[in-house]
Amino acid sequence: MNVFLMRHGQAMAETEDPLQGLSAEGVTQIRASACAMKKLGIVPGLVLCSPKKRAKQTAALVSEIVNYPYSDIVESEILLPKADPETVVELLEKYRDRQSLLLVGHLPSLNRILSFLLGGGEVPVSFENGGLCCVASDDGEGRRTELCFCLTAEQLRLLA
């Protein structure tokens, strides 16, 4: 199973939008990241996102571009910024039958989830807005994983 982790796009300031939806730049950023995903043949078997507005908008934009059904996006509070990585892995186990999952979330939880998936040590990865990492699990139990790639939004834009 491939687990893709994406940080939401750039959000508006809280003074502009109290719910901090995506800014115009954030929308452009995510569209480019999603176009690169499509070009790379990345179509998730399931999209899971945080219930925060910016994460939901990010998941929706990606889904639209990679032809994933919007109605099948799963929102989960488990992907909020302070998410416990062990709880996230338990959630992933429910979807073990999927070839790939896309998790759309926030900092600092994405770093914690990535580190947990890769064995528990802190992985010094900077998740910028619209960036994408991929972790592959090859043992069916989710215990042996490897980092396949970690791309910044700018690298994804260049690929698009």
Query: pLDDT tens digits for 19-43?
Result: 999 999 999 999 999 999 999 999 9
**What pTM was estimated for this model as a whole?**
0.94
- Using CA atoms, how far residue 130 sits from 84, 96, 105, 156, in Å, is 22, 25, 10, 9
Q: What are the boundaries of each domain within the chain?
A: 2-159
Contact 53, 83 (CB under 8 A): no
Query: pLDDT tens digits for 144-154?
Result: 689 999 999 99
Q: Does domain 2-159 have CATH number 3.40.50.1240?
A: yes
Query: pLDDT tens digits for 6-22?
Result: 999 999 999 999 999 99
